[in-house]
Structure 1
Amino acid sequence: MTVSSLPSTPSGMCRRAVVAAAAAAVVAAGLTACSADEPVDDGPCAATAASKDDGARSINLPSPEVTVLSPGDGAPQPLTVAPDTDSSQSVTLETSSTESSIAPSAPNAEQNQIQNTEQQLVTPITARTVCDDPTSLEFSIGAPTSKDTDLAPLLTDLDTSTGGLSYGPGMAPTRLRLKPTDAAGSPARSALEQSLIGALDYAIPLPTTPVATGATWRAVRRVTGSATVTQTMTVTLVSRTADVLELDVAIDEEPVNSVFAIPGSDATLHIARFSMSGKGSFTVDLRRLLPTSGTLTMQGGRELLGDDPNRPILQKNGFTLAWKKSE
């Protein structure tokens, strides 16, 4: 293909860009209003995993392979996940994706084409473990907010959207189910989906064998998107107080091949150079399926080539996320 314009990946992350294109074409099933005679499932735990049967959009999440590198110092103890069914969990998720791109606008052009994009979202989430299934979580969201003045007014229609998560061993999310409200339009739905998947792609899995403070483990997963990457996490158990873990994480991503698929089209570019890495710290409660707090910052860049190798597209990418306990 001829490189005459920049590939649009507003999230700045490959997987999120592909999800955005797909989400814009999908009209998720809407919520059915409950009559006054129908029971409302609003207890401390969810009576059923309703999102598995209510028409929610189901999205597969990559499963990690976890290897303990060091068991730590002291007597190893199992990191037993035992979700609380006596109360719900209220958290706020904030994600921000940025991308800066530079490319020649035409052969021999004196000025380059420059494009800067950012997508930021703050989403309140109320999560409840399914009463008789500790591997499933149901959630509802409040109205997200954004500093994007065009997107912000559209987000209020997402209020009361619902969904769910399925988990594998070690608190690793394996499937997201998402059901926006009928009123929500494609831009709002896409922004919410990108934000949730962006955070869940960086969920920290725990080892299933006992470890002590100071333990380190490696988690490897393949994340499919515009550029399919191998993501490698190195996690350190900084401290443990009862069921509460303090974790540090370093992350590096490498493409599995040189193919970059332009979102929303069949065209591809060649990845000549690629880098993406970052660090973060999280607080994880073994009685809760979502982090109770934490931040992560990823930074990187890539050089993409089309038909003319003398006209590369240079991109700088960033992704940040933060989990905060809601007051």
Structure 2
Amino acid sequence: MGVTVPHRDATDPPRSSTPRRRTVVALAVLPLSATIALTGCSSDDSGGTSDSGPCAESSSVDRAGVRPIPVSAATVTVVDPGSGTPQPLTPAPDTARAQKVTLTTDSLEASIAPDAQNKQQVQRTQQNLTTPITARVACDDPSNLEFTIGTPTTLDDALTPELGAISGSAGGVTFAPGLNPQMLRLLPNDDSSSPARSAVEQSFTGAFDQSIPLPTEPVGVGARWESVRTIASAATIRRTTTVTLKARVGSVLTLAVTVDETPVDSVFRIPGSAQTLTIDRYAMSGSGEVTVDLTKMLPTGGKIVTKGARQLSGDAGAPPLLQQNEYTVSWSPAAP
């Protein structure tokens, strides 16, 4: 979400309108990746591969050089306990076999801003990544998941050649009760490039920000709960996810999901700058369905699509800028 408008402090000297318009356009078309402070990798070590057994004999939590990536904490509140006999939704990770799943994230963005002739300019960008994952719960610690990524694929022809070297990189996730992710770890291979590392990190952090924690109290079918996260980026937003337990068959849960986002304040921080903008309008919402198997740590299927727009303004009298966004995260069984 990279729409930016130059903001001039009251102490700055006056500027002519034409140069300022050009700056507006240059900043307005920043891609989504420019608005998120990414490390590009979370470890100085070579990623290597995680354990190849049915569960992970070691965890990357204490590996030297690991720089964990925090996941915004979610608060879960049950608003309707559902019907029938309440049952706990307690994860019971399977240590006898690995989980193979594919994560796809897709971000579409349209930035609309005036050019030097004050005509509307539209720039569209897309960031897409599909990553096969082999995940193993730690043998002696079910709160930690270790994973190895296969070769990611993308619709971006320029990024495609960069992705082969990151195949086989390792990572991990630490969960709180209720499959509530707390900390992500990525350990990219030494020979992987910065563009590949950044793409993988954006994809994984975006997916876990959209994750669906479960209540820790027993509920029945039809139960509804809210998950609330505050996510800080260029804008700080509060994401409220409402989840309904549509069905339960053994350990498999079918969850209906709706998402609503609101800004915590009106401040938009221009990436790489001390300047700020004003959020005049903001609307972002979405829906989807996710399948969770309580014997697995990652979703086994499903998709959530979130769409919206925001209007930003800077200097008094400068034309506002509009940004339209669509973000999709989906999980599917890995191809054999």
Determine if the TM-score, normalized by the shorter chain, exceeds 0.5: yes
In 1, the alpha carbon distance for the partners of 2:191 and 2:311 equals 40
In 2, the alpha carbon distance for the partners of 1:239 and 1:160 equals 36
Structure 1 runs (4+) deviating above 6 angstroms are: none
* SS of corresponding position for 1:74: strand
Greater shift after overlay, 310-319 or 233-242? 310-319
Distance of aligned partners of 1:179 and 1:75 in 2 relative to their CA distance in 1, 3 Å threshold: same
Greater shift after overlay, 300-309 or 66-75? 300-309
Counterparts of residues 172-211 of structure 1 (less than 5 Å): 172-211=180-219
Distance of aligned partners of 1:227 and 1:208 in 2 relative to their CA distance in 1, 3 Å threshold: same
State the TM-score, normalizing by the size of structure 1: 0.91
2:292 is equivalent to residue 306 of structure 1: no
2:332 is equivalent to residue 324 of structure 1: yes
Counterparts of residues 34-53 of structure 1 (less than 5 Å): 41-53=51-63
The equivalent position to 2:150 in structure 1, one of 142, 157, 163, is: 142
Over residues 92-113 of structure 1, what are the superposed CA-to-partner deviations in whole Å (9 max), with x where a residue is unaligned?
A: 001001110111123xx34222
2:60 is equivalent to residue 30 of structure 1: no
**Offset, 1:9:** 4.8
Distance of aligned partners of 1:248 and 1:309 in 2 relative to their CA distance in 1, 3 Å threshold: farther
Distance of aligned partners of 1:118 and 1:27 in 2 relative to their CA distance in 1, 3 Å threshold: same
Over residues 234-288 of structure 1, what are the superposed CA-to-partner deviations in whole Å (9 max), with x where a residue is unaligned?
A: 1000000111000000000000011111223222211000011100101000110
Distance of aligned partners of 1:33 and 1:134 in 2 relative to their CA distance in 1, 3 Å threshold: closer
Distance of aligned partners of 1:135 and 1:228 in 2 relative to their CA distance in 1, 3 Å threshold: same
Distance of aligned partners of 1:235 and 1:9 in 2 relative to their CA distance in 1, 3 Å threshold: farther
The equivalent position to 2:130 in structure 1, one of 122, 131, 150, is: 122
2:231 is equivalent to residue 216 of structure 1: no
Distance of aligned partners of 1:136 and 1:32 in 2 relative to their CA distance in 1, 3 Å threshold: closer
In 2, the alpha carbon distance for the partners of 1:120 and 1:41 equals 28
Counterparts of residues 235-274 of structure 1 (less than 5 Å): 235-274=243-282
* SS of corresponding position for 2:134: strand
* SS of corresponding position for 2:27: coil
Distance of aligned partners of 1:84 and 1:306 in 2 relative to their CA distance in 1, 3 Å threshold: same
Over residues 290-325 of structure 1, what are the superposed CA-to-partner deviations in whole Å (9 max), with x where a residue is unaligned?
A: 000010100000001011444111100110011011
In 1, the alpha carbon distance for the partners of 2:64 and 2:179 equals 24
Q: Partner letter of residue 301 of structure 1?
A: A
**Offset, 1:27:** 7.9
* SS of corresponding position for 1:319: strand
The equivalent position to 1:161 in structure 2, one of 169, 176, 190, is: 169
Greater shift after overlay, 139-148 or 1-10? 1-10
Aligned length, in residue pairs = 314
**Offset, 1:202:** 0.5
Contact 2:42-2:187 at 8 Å conserved across structures: no
* SS of corresponding position for 1:231: strand
* SS of corresponding position for 1:145: coil
Unaligned runs of 5+ in 1: 35-39
* SS of corresponding position for 1:314: strand
In 2, the alpha carbon distance for the partners of 1:269 and 1:151 equals 31
2:94 is equivalent to residue 84 of structure 1: yes
Distance of aligned partners of 1:65 and 1:33 in 2 relative to their CA distance in 1, 3 Å threshold: closer
In 2, the alpha carbon distance for the partners of 1:129 and 1:54 equals 20
Contact 1:292-1:325 at 8 Å conserved across structures: yes
The equivalent position to 1:101 in structure 2, one of 64, 88, 111, is: 111
* SS of corresponding position for 1:189: helix
Q: Partner letter of residue 105 of structure 2?
A: T
Q: Partner letter of residue 248 of structure 2?
A: R
In 1, the alpha carbon distance for the partners of 2:123 and 2:245 equals 40
**Counterpart in 2 of 1:5?**
26
In 2, the alpha carbon distance for the partners of 1:210 and 1:221 equals 22
**Offset, 1:4:** 4.3
* SS of corresponding position for 1:283: strand
Over residues 181-211 of structure 1, what are the superposed CA-to-partner deviations in whole Å (9 max), with x where a residue is unaligned?
A: 1111111110000000010001001001100
The equivalent position to 1:227 in structure 2, one of 225, 232, 235, is: 235
